[in-house]
Structure 1
Amino acid sequence: MKTKRLSAFLLASALLLSSFGCQRVDPGEEQKKFNDFLNNEFIETMESDYTTSHVYLNKPENFGVSKENIEINLGTRMDMQEQKEEEKKTKETYEQFKKFKRNALTDTQQDIYDSIERSASLYEQMSDDKFDYYASAFESMGGLHYQLPTLFADWELRNEQDVKDLILLLEDVDDYVDSAIEYTKIQAEKGLLMLDLDSIISYCENIVKKGENSSILTSLYDSIDALHLSDTKTSDYKQQVKKAFAASFLPAYQNILDTMNTFKKQGEKNAKSLSAFENGKEYYKLLLQQSIGSDKTPKEVKKMMEDAFYAHISNIQDIVSNLSDDEELLKALSSNQFPQTSYTSYEQILEDIKKDMFQDFPEVKNLKYNIKDINEEIASDSGVAAYFNIPSIDGDSIKQLRVNPKSSDIKSLSTYSTVSHEGFPGHMYQYAYLYENIDNNFAKTLINENAYVEGYAVYAQYESFKYLDNMNQKLLQLFKENELASYCLVIGADIGIHYEGWDLTQFTDYMSEFGFALSKEEATPLYNQLWANPAAFQPYYVGYEEIIDLKENAQDKLGNKFKEKDFNTALLESGIAPFSVVERHIDSYIKRTK
């Protein structure tokens, strides 16, 4: 899923910004003050970050958010002084937060408390000076250079004021990017560089080459047209947008391109991995825990995923042994090509799933959606097949799905899997349920646990296979088990590279040990992707395995009393949360069902 936040490195700094707290032990008073604290945090965060408030709020004033207090820019810069100021504010607020008496709070408040506590504690640890300049601004799978074009191509204009604000945002790009480049140059000086230079250069060259013929501009023009302003205003605003794009956005990308080419020409040495940094292993452990929604160590996660690998391989062997005379299965095994679906559009996939999914998932009222292609100019070559744009909490609730025209054809099983991950019963449904069933605005918008969010969507995409009732279900299970087995090893390799310091040969040996023999040509791009994007895959597949463990535990304890719909309701009802919180809800479901 693609969120609208500009940088994973900056996300946590928006979490806790006010300085309200209390020490009262009366439950009623404590609960009220905790709600006040959350509301103040929500308002402070929205007023401190324009892009966040614009994405989540159509009418900020209805939430006590003052537009006059919101500075129109792209957010906190990456210079260390500004970062340290934000860290100081956040830590002060964390100290105030810790004064609340958890046991005096309601069950729902305790869920939120535990989510904040975990995120804030990790943020505090990762903000230690010894980790300065460890985070990368230009990761190849979701770096700043990729996020900005996507942000503007999808930017929603709701009224004329939004157009004026958009112009200010575009004018801010050059300065914002410059701070990231200066940060990256210091990384290089300190020997903390880990950049896939060729990938970044290729992407930025495409942006610069298009210049003012950019499809990003075309998208913005279309959004201005949709406001139906007067012809004079429409023309004037388009000229201002074009001017800001030419004067700020394009120079920023030329700056990135020049910097990366300079690094390449100078033979700037990349670090071997995070493990090569002085405190890199400790940092990776925290990064991993931030990515997996639990406090498991790298060693524990690696063992968990290797155990899961063997379980998936065992499932594959069972399928094959029971269907040895199935010609369709044997053909898929021998050619590694799976049959296609009969779908001709993304809408057809979603509508078919929607007909069946409520037998397994709780119903929601609003599942309206809109699907558009990612502009080919900015479509990522790094494997992002589609993404879901988070809707505002007070708008028309039309969900927005973007699909990559460079990805596989519409009939492929991979396309069906991706659409169900991002759409139904994945993210679009997940957020529809969240918005309808979670009352607290802070919990709806500012709790960030990607392992739950992405782990659920992976779980949902495989659950949706059962709705392909005209296809061989055993073959679909084979497809699923094979994919999951592969990603289990990807997680193990990521830990090997960034925690144990593996080079390409050690990575290849590891994959071969588990039966995935790769040539150097095959291994190099996968190794480079993991090396340049530490812990990128963990939220998806560690998150999935956590959910499956919870489900299997519920099935074992409940036997024939287990119901898919009841389990999925318990899985969703916590909202976005770490797995310790999710597990409490599953345990409650088990207890009341026995």
Structure 2
Amino acid sequence: MKQFKRCSALLLGALAALSLVACSKKDATGEQERFDQFIQQEFVDTMESDYPSMHIFLIHPEDFGVDPSAVEVGLGLRVDEQTIEKTAQDVAAAREEFQTFDRKLLTEEQQDTYDIYQFQVDLDSKLCDPKFDYYQQAFGSTMGMHTQIPTLLSDWQLRSEQDVKDLIAVVGDVKPYVDSLLDYTRKQEEKGLLMTDLDSVIQYCQGVVAAGENSAVLHSMNESIDALDLDKEDAGRYKAELKEAFENSFLPAYEEIITTMESLKSGDNNQEGLAHFEYGKEYYTLLLQQNVGSNKSVEEIRQMMEDACNRYDKGIETIILENPDLYESFVNFPATGFGSYTAILDNIQGKMYRDYPEVSNLGYNIVNINEEIANSGVAAYFNIPPIDDTGDKQLRVNPDIGGVDDIYTYSVVAHEGYPGHMYQNAYAYENLDSPYRKALANSPAYSEGFAVYAQYSAFQYLDGIDPRVLDAYRQQELYTYCAIVLSDIGIHYDGWSLQEFQDFLTEMGLELGDEALYESQYKQLQSTPCAFQPYYVGYEEFMALRRKAEKELGDSFNQKAFHEAILKSGAAPFCVVERNVDKYINASK
């Protein structure tokens, strides 16, 4: 299970220090070998400390030095004071060991890994400061644990009979795991650090409980058991055990969430932003940097998004004024002409290799999102495959997002599929050697920013729609989302009220009309800080790198080579990505 604490096992591993004796005189080969051992141990420790991580990322753990018998089957460490304290100690120990390496003696690829690890561990060390222990909210309205658990279980891959037994144990662990989250949440309220959209959480959980044993989550898990073609009697027994665990653990956990959230309504719950907590602005700054993949300040990010808003505003105005004959198309966007999600992906795949480096394993299947998850407003997502999996990749799409021939649907499928996450993931698995880099390097701004970049890049493969119309659509969307990022900063760093948020959107020309819509959008941002930053700050970073490359290279700029430069970085902070782009620029002059 993706751990609750930002400096948790999933992100950084158990982080046990290696007992290595430092040499008085370091040599390059020895230092490189020692560094590889350190990073490999980080990977092993992570996998062995968190069963869901091992199951999701590895089909054959033994091939990576991971001992499955050392892994406790369940959802992961409980969220309590002991775990929080130990995690902070482990992070400090790992950082101390990491600081013994001489970066200059490492290979270029190792230096990338070094910088990725350093960015993560430095931020997590700061976030592990005890003054932030109760700042992270367990039940964010869109990305809280109550929404993550059904997604995790619905997508759980069963590869063997033992996996079925383990899944039953995981489902049985839902209630104890959720209880620890609720204990943490009650302590937050006692400390005056609760900041949760209680009604949103209650509404979601009521839908889960109402489904009962007819739950789409349980149905999905049963389908996975059927797909194994086990002995009929064995399969029936496992399904009965799974149902029992579901009824005795999963459903009671969601009933308890509802009860707890109802009880918290009479307590202290911050219904505005992080800025209203004692260390809220400091915490938000760290959270922002973690989600934008750089050490830029809040003011630097604010300026970046304001500049982007101005650029898109002028761009839209120019396109419309210069092309009044296209006004109808701007207002009523023409259909793309595609009749299925597969048709969209196949069309893109047939054209994208003129602009993106080829990868060999791009087989896929598309599955509708689980009904209960679809109700949460999720448009689509890509299921990250194990790093040793050579089978088809899976894309989940919400059938209710709109018509298949709608431009929004095209964008969503391109974002999650080609040339977005599915392609990005396939490239990394095929071209990066380090298991740590493939599975644990964590830069949401790189991953999501690239996927946004890719979805708009895919507009060039749409035939029959005027490029000027597509460009206006792109800039209008980006203008809106840049304003949302600025609103997030306003709420959590400046302490905006609902009225100030509404006034800002009105000033930006983004009136929502209905008061309830303003409140709904405000609550979404207020309860899930930095949710949009990885997507749109990440996008702006990639576009800034592209503009830089185009300016310096002129006619020598090659889109395919540029894409290769950013893809070879893997999920890295932008200091690494920029270095690889600079290498491409210098080599192309």
Fold in common (TM above 0.5): yes
Mapped to 1, the partners of 2:130 and 2:587 lie a distance apart of 47
CA distance in 2, matches of 1:235, 1:13: 34
Q: Cα–Cα, structure 1 residues 534 and 31, in superposed 2: closer, same or farther, change >3 Å? A: same
Contact 1:215 1:377 in 2 (8 A): yes
Residue 251 in structure 1 maps to residue 248 in structure 2: no
The Cα of 1:344 is off from its aligned counterpart by: 1.7
1:136–1:194: 8 Å Cα contact kept in structure 2? Answer: yes
Structure-1 residue corresponding to 2:426? 432
* 1:316 matched to 2:316: yes
Q: Does residue 1:369 correspond to 2:364, yes or no? A: yes
Please say if 1:484 is aligned against 2:478.
yes
Alignment-derived partner of residue 92 in structure 2 = 91
Report the Cα offset of residue 434 of structure 1. 0.2
Distance in 2 separating the partners of 1:128 and 1:486:
35
Q: Secondary structure at the match of 1:576?
A: coil
Q: CA deviation at 1:11?
A: 4.5
| Alignment-mate amino acid for residue 293 of structure 1 | G
Q: CA deviation at 1:332?
A: 4.0
Q: Secondary structure at the match of 2:372?
A: coil
SS for the counterpart of 2:396 is: strand
Secondary structure at 1:522 match in 2:
helix
- TM-score, normalised relative to structure 1: 0.96
Preserved contact between residue 6 and residue 144 of structure 1 (Cα < 8 Å): no
Q: How does 1:167-246 map to 2 (within 5 A)?
A: 167-246=168-247
Q: How many percent of aligned residue pairs carry the same amino acid? A: 48
1:17-32 mapped onto 2 (5 Å cutoff): 17-20=15-18, 23-24=22-23, 25-32=26-33
Change (3 A) 1:22 1:276: farther
State how far apart, in whole Å, the 1-side matches of 2:403 and 2:497 are: 35
- Return the offset for 1:62: 1.1
Counterpart of 1:258 in structure 2: which amino acid? Answer: T
Shift of 1:590: 0.2
- After TM superposition, the structure 1 stretch with the greater mean CA deviation from structure 2, 266-275 or 148-157, is 266-275
* 2:217 aligned counterpart, secondary structure: helix
**Aligned-partner residue type, residue 303 of structure 2:** K
Residue 279 of structure 2: aligned partner: 279
One-letter code aligned to 1:433: Y
Write the deviation string for residues 351-387 of structure 1: whole angstroms up to 9, x where unpaired: 0100000010000001011111111123243x42001
CA change 1:53–1:12 in 2 (3 A) is: closer
CA contact (8 A) 1:48 1:70 kept: yes
Instruction: Give the whole-Å Cα distance in 2 for the aligned partners of 1:475 and 1:46.
Output: 48
Which structure 2 residues correspond to residues 330-345 of structure 1 after superposition, within 5 A? Answer: 330-333=327-330, 336-345=331-340
Match 1:515 to one of 509, 532, 557: 509
Task: Judge which range, 525-534 or 403-412, deviates more.
Answer: 403-412
Residues 337 and 461 of structure 1: is their aligned pair in 2 closer, same or farther, counting only changes over 3 Å?
same
Between the aligned partners of 1:14 and 1:344, the Cα distance in structure 2 is 40
User: What SS class does the counterpart of residue 374 from structure 2 fall into?
Assistant: coil
Say whether 1:538 aligns with 2:513. Answer: no
Asked if the contact 2:552–2:585 (Cα under 8 Å) also holds between the matched residues in 1, the reply is: yes
Conservation of the 8 A alpha-carbon contact between 1:77 and 1:83: no
1:479 Cα deviation from its structure 2 partner: 0.5
**2:440 maps to 1:443:** no
Residue from 455, 466, 479 that aligns with 2:460: 466
Query: Helix, strand or coil: the match of 1:275?
Result: helix
SS of alignment partner, residue 394 of structure 2: strand
Deviations 1:388-413 (A, max 9, x none): 11001112342111112332221211
State the distance in 2 between where 1:257 and 1:10 align.
28
Partner of 1:302: 302
SS at match of 1:366: coil
Q: CA deviation at 1:37?
A: 1.0
Question: 2:142 matched to which residue of 1?
Answer: 141
Q: Which amino acid aligns with 2:133?
A: D
Distance 2:162 2:87 in 1: 29
Counterpart check, 1:475 vs 2:476: no
Q: How many aligned residue pairs are there?
A: 584
- Asked if 2 retains the 8 angstrom alpha-carbon contact of 1:372 and 1:403, the reply is yes
Instruction: Specify the code of the residue in structure 1 equivalent to 2:42.
Output: E
Asked if 1:398 corresponds to 2:395, the answer is no
Alignment CA distance shift 1:474-1:135 (3 Å): same
Q: Deviations over 1:12-48 (max 9, x none)?
A: 6641412125644211110011111111111111111
2:483 alignment partner AA: L
Could you tell me how far apart the structure 2 residues matched to 1:522 and 1:180 are? 30
Q: How does 1:552-563 map to 2 (within 5 A)?
A: 552-563=547-558
Choose the corresponding residue for 2:562, options 564, 567, 573: 567
SS in 2 for 1:359: coil
Alignment counterpart, residue 527 of structure 1, candidates 522, 526, 530 = 522
| TM-aligned CA deviation for residue 516 of structure 1 | 2.3
Q: Is 401-410 or 544-553 further displaced after alignment?
A: 401-410
Query: 2 CA distance for matches of 1:6 and 1:422?
Result: 24
Alpha-carbon spacing, 1:536–1:93, altered in 2? closer, same or farther (3 Å) = same
Moved more, 77-86 or 6-15: 6-15
RMSD after superposition = 1.4
State the AA in 2 paired with 1:576.
A
- CA distance, structure 2, for counterparts of residue 7 and residue 397 of structure 1: 30
The Cα shift of 1:561 comes to: 0.3
> How far, CA to CA, are the matches of 2:109 and 2:147 in structure 1?
37
Structure 2 match to 1:384: 378
Tell whether the 8 Å contact from 1:76 to 1:83 is kept in structure 2 after alignment. no
**Which residues of structure 1 form unaligned runs of 5+?**
none
State the alpha-carbon separation in 1 of the partners of residues 272 and 131 from structure 2: 19
Q: Secondary structure at the match of 1:490?
A: helix
Amino acid at match of 1:15: L
Instruction: Supply the distance in 2 between the matched residues of 1:447 and 1:23 (Cα, whole angstroms).
Output: 26
Taking a change above 3 Å as real, the CA distance of residues 10 and 384 of structure 1, as seen in their structure-2 partners, is: farther
Distance 1:394 1:269, change over 3 A: closer
Query: Aligned-pair distance for 1:272?
Result: 2.2
Comparing 284-293 with 502-511, greater Cα deviation is found at 502-511
What is the CA–CA distance in structure 2 between the aligned matches of 1:396 and 1:590, rounded to whole Å?
34
One-letter identity of the residue aligned with 1:318: T
Cα–Cα, structure 1 residues 458 and 248, in superposed 2: closer, same or farther, change >3 Å? same
Shift of 1:205: 0.6
Structure 2, unpaired ranges of 5+: none
Kept in 2, the 8 Å contact 1:571–1:586? The answer is yes
Q: What is the rounded CA distance, in whole Å, between the counterparts of 2:54 and 2:503 in structure 1?
A: 48
CA distance in 2, matches of 1:438, 1:499: 37
> Per-residue CA shift, 1:189-213, capped at 9, x if unaligned?
1121111122111110111011111
SS in 2 for 1:19: coil
**Displacement of 1:271 after TM fit?**
4.3
Cα distance in structure 2, aligned partners of 1:309 and 1:233: 59
Secondary structure at 1:378's aligned position in 2? helix
Describe the SS at the equivalent of 2:347: helix
Q: Is contact 2:182–2:260 with CA below 8 Å preserved after alignment?
A: yes
Among candidates 2, 26, 36, match of residue 5 of structure 1:
2
Shift of 1:217: 1.1
- Per the alignment, residue 547 of structure 1 pairs with 542
Of 341, 346, 351, the residue aligned with 1:346 is: 341
Distance, in Å, in 2 between the alignment partners of 1:384 and 1:548 is: 26
The residue that corresponds to 2:155 in the other structure is 154
Q: Report the Cα distance in structure 1 between the residues aligned to 2:47 and 2:269, rounded to whole angstroms.
A: 40
Q: Distance in 1 between matches of 2:132 and 2:413?
A: 38
- Tell me, in whole angstroms, the C-alpha distance in 1 between the residues paired with 2:118 and 2:227: 43
